[in-house]
Structure 1
Amino acid sequence: MRLGGPGVFAGDWAWTPNAGGVMRIPVAFAGTLVDTWNGWAVFTCTRQVAEAIVAEQQAARDRYRQHLAADGITGERQQRMVDESLARLRFDGDVIVADETRVHGDPDAVERITSDPDGRYTVMGRAWTWTAVHPYDCDRIAGDLPDPPGQAQPEA
């Protein structure tokens, strides 16, 4: 994949075994590769895809919460363990608020992610370990692949 090109991206943490034990990515995200950071992909995406990333992060937090509950960990201890393991992401209007204060033990570890002039978001680029993945390794892809650079849309 080259810079400026379309792709499918997932966190390196996303690989999970399915019922048959085959490693799969439950959900990946369509976007455009705009940079690399320490060998990891940095990509931009539409608001729809950014919303899917935020929703998937919440689902991951919910899965971890359920796992802890199954082990008998509940209440404030459970919430603290979830917050120390997984960032809190949410939309505040058109801005994504990424709160990793408990993950990093740093009260200033809150990032506000705004869209670029084209309305595209770089969700946790240069912070999370995103990789370009093959679409066939994914159970679901959030969003549509953007056109390659310089590719004109056909007239309707």
Structure 2
Amino acid sequence: MNEFEWLRQTRALREPVTPRRDLWSGIDAALDAAHAEAEKPAPQRNHRRVQNWLIAASFVGLSLFAGSLAVHLRDRTLANATAAATLDAGRWRPNDPRLAGAAVELDAASMELRQAMEQAPRSPALQRLLYRTQKQQSQLRQMEHQAG
């Protein structure tokens, strides 16, 4: 095939070509079928029932969320109140100046242990340390009472 034949074939592509069969009848039938399908009534799917179930499920989810939030806030409020009460109870100031320094150190240690317990409430090591600190504070109070 040479260049002249290619040029002749490309010029032949510019001319209109008639299809071997009529395409419009198939297109028209497909459009009519789509139009007839769109005009059919939609099947009943109980949209109302589904919508009611979705509303009920959303209320249940919202109630669970609100309940868990209320429990969490209540626990947090109780923990804060307990911590404040123990802080007030733990801020004992002895009259004897020789015991005052030890009381300040034990109060600071107790407060730091409580803060650590908020991050790891089930730590046995922290619980033992807090128990020992409270025991030392108790012994310090007894020493003050004995000293007079």
Q: State the TM-score, normalizing by the size of structure 1.
A: 0.24
The answer to which structure has the higher helix fraction is: 2
The answer to which structure has the higher strand fraction is: 1
- The structure, 1 or 2, with the larger RCO (C-alpha pairs under 8 Å, 6+ apart) is 1
Q: State the TM-score, normalizing by the size of structure 2.
A: 0.25
